[in-house]
Amino acid sequence: MDRTLVPTTVQGTIRIPASKSQTIRALLIATLADGISTIRNPLDSQDTGSCVTVCELLGASIDWNKADDIITLDSRHVVRGGGPLVTVDCGNSGTTLYLAAGMTAALGRTVRFTGDVQLCNRPIGPLLDSLSELGATVEYEGRQGYPPFTIAGPLRGGRTTIECETSQYLSGLLLACSIASGDSHIEVPLLHEKPYVGITLSWLDKQGIRYRNSEDLQHFDVPGGQEYKPFDELITGDFSSASFFFCAAAICGTTVTVEGLDQQDPQGDKRILDILDRMGCTVRWHGKSVSVTGPADGRLSGGTFDLNSMPDALPILAVTACFADSQVRIVNVPQARIKETDRIAVMHTNLATLGAIISEQPDGLTIEGGHGLAGGSVDGFDDHRIIMAMAIASLRCASPLMIRGIEAAAVTFPTFFSLLESLRK
Confidence at residue 81, expressed as pLDDT on a 0 to 100 scale: 86
Mark whether 221 is an active-site residue: no
In 3D space, the residue among 66, 72, 62 whose CA is nearest the CA of residue 39 turns out to be 72
The DSSP secondary-structure symbol of 5 reads: E
Domains in the chain: boundaries:
3-17+237-423, 20-223+230-234
User: Which positions of the chain have pLDDT values less than 50?
Assistant: none
Confidence at residue 166, expressed as pLDDT on a 0 to 100 scale: 95
Confidence at residue 296, expressed as pLDDT on a 0 to 100 scale: 85
Confidence at residue 275, expressed as pLDDT on a 0 to 100 scale: 98
373-425 pLDDT, tens digit per residue, is 999 999 999 999 999 999 999 999 999 999 999 999 998 999 999 999 999 88
CA distances from residue 4 to 31, 160, 355, 366, 418 in whole angstroms, order as listed:
42, 50, 18, 27, 14
Quickly list DSSP for 71-118: EEEE-TT---S----EEEE-TT-HHHHHHHHHHHHHTT-EEEEE--TT
Confidence at residue 82, expressed as pLDDT on a 0 to 100 scale: 83
Point out the catalytic residue in the list 74, 312, 379, 383.
312
Burial of 219 (0-12, 13-18, 19+ CB in 10 A): middle
Confidence at residue 134, expressed as pLDDT on a 0 to 100 scale: 98
Confidence at residue 356, expressed as pLDDT on a 0 to 100 scale: 97
Burial of 38 (0-12, 13-18, 19+ CB in 10 A): middle
Q: Do domains 3-17+237-423 and 20-223+230-234 have the same CATH topology?
A: yes
CA distance 79 to 81: 6
* Contact present, 62 and 56 (Cβ < 8 Å): yes
The H-assigned helical ranges of 286-367 are 314-321, 343-353
- As separate numbers, helices (DSSP H) first and strands (DSSP E) second, the chain gives 12, 23
* Contact present, 99 and 171 (Cβ < 8 Å): yes
CA distance 158 to 61: 32
In 3D space, the residue among 144, 142, 107, 117 whose CA is nearest the CA of residue 129 turns out to be 144
CA distance 31 to 79: 10
Read off the pTM.
Answer: 0.93
Q: Is the dihedral of CA 349, 302, 395, 420 positive or negative?
A: positive
* Contact present, 250 and 292 (Cβ < 8 Å): yes
Instruction: State the architecture of 3-17+237-423 in CATH terms.
Output: Alpha-beta prism (3.65)
54-110 pLDDT, tens digit per residue, is 999 999 999 999 999 999 999 999 988 888 899 999 999 999 999 999 999 999 999
Confidence at residue 298, expressed as pLDDT on a 0 to 100 scale: 80
CATH number belonging to the domain at 20-223+230-234, selected among 3.65.10.10, 3.30.450.20, 3.40.50.920, 3.30.565.10: 3.65.10.10
